[in-house]
Amino acid sequence: MTFVTPNASKIVILGDSGVGKTSLALRFTHNEFHDLELSTVGAKCFTKSVHVADKDVHFSIWDTAGQERFQSLAPIYYRNSRAAIIVYDITQKKSFHEAERWVDEMKRHGDEDLVIALIGNKSDLNEYREVKMKVAQEYALKNNLIFLETSAKTGEHVEDLFMKIAEMLPSVHAKIPENLDHNFGIVSISKLEEKEKRKEKKNCC
């Protein structure tokens, strides 16, 4: 089809219950954190566009249920996703283990080009931290994931997260940043980059 809305890249947000999935999506799409002034908002499909590599990238961000009893339903949500944001709460170690489980599942069942981001949310609650940043960072590096610690409450690094995802999306064919930005703990090695290398090798032969 050549018409209707531009092809929005579907991003699914996964993670344990209460880690801040909905708040994260809301912060990015509306630049809001839910407080007493807001009317009722909730889980749904959020949309937003970002401009990266001279292109407008349209996101369709799908919030999901995190409770254990709904876990078997997750494939219905992440089907056809271009990216998965796997969120844990830095003050809840259990939620990090849950995030690891999600990473395994997405690596097994996600598309080959799926971009995966591991996000430690609630960075504003550093004094209650249970998950060390270094541990999460190393795990992300080992698994080729985008990694950031964010705060949906203050907005810290939320925008950066989606910009990084946009850069990594195969559909964007964005040039891989020459120097990966490590300022925010980005340790991802793009699958695109790996693919291009593979292509180059093939061409050489």
Partner 1 sequence: MKIKIKNQNQNQNQNQNQNQNQNQNQNQNQNQNQNQNQNQNQNQNQNINQNKNQNQNNRNRNQFQNENVKNENNLNNITNNSPPILFSFLSNQSYDKKTLTQNYGKISEAEFLLPCTMKLSKFRGLTFSDIHNENKIIQFIYSTKKEEIQEFIRNLKKKGIQIDNLQTNLIRTKIDKLKEDIYLKIQQNVNRERLNLQTDEERQRINYCIEEQLEKIIITPFYKTIISSITSRVKKEEEEIQKNLKNLSKQKIEHFGISKHLNNIDWTIPIKIINGISICKYPFELLNIIINTSFSIYETIERQIRNRPKILNQQLIAGDDFLSIFVFILTKTHSDSLKTFEDYLINYGDPLELSTESGYYLTTFCSALEFIKINPNI
Minimum CB separation from partner 1 for residue 83, in Å?
A: 13
76 vs 204, beta carbon nearer partner 1: 76
Minimum CB separation from partner 1 for residue 172, in Å?
A: 16
Minimum CB separation from partner 1 for residue 166, in Å?
A: 16
Minimum CB separation from partner 1 for residue 116, in Å?
A: 19
41 vs 135, beta carbon nearer partner 1: 41
18 vs 104, beta carbon nearer partner 1: 18
Cβ distance 148 to 165 under 8 Å?
no
How far, in Å, CA of 31 to CA of 162, rounded? 13
How far, in Å, CA of 153 to CA of 122, rounded? 7
Q: CA distances (Å), 169 to each of 20, 40, 58, 147, in order?
A: 24, 32, 11, 15
74 vs 192, beta carbon nearer partner 1: 74
5 vs 179, beta carbon nearer partner 1: 5
b vs e for 165-189, b when ≥16 Cβ sit within 10 Å of the residue's Cβ?
bbbbbbebebeeeeeeeeebbbbbe
Minimum CB separation from partner 1 for residue 2, in Å?
A: 7
Which stretches of the chain bind partner 1, using CB under 8 A? 1-6, 8, 10, 17-18, 21-23, 26, 34-36, 38-45, 47, 60, 62-67, 69-70, 72-73, 76-77, 80
| Sequence-ordered list of residues with C-beta below 8 angstroms from that of 64, at least 6 positions apart, any chain | 12, 13, 14, 21, 43, 70, 74, 77, 78
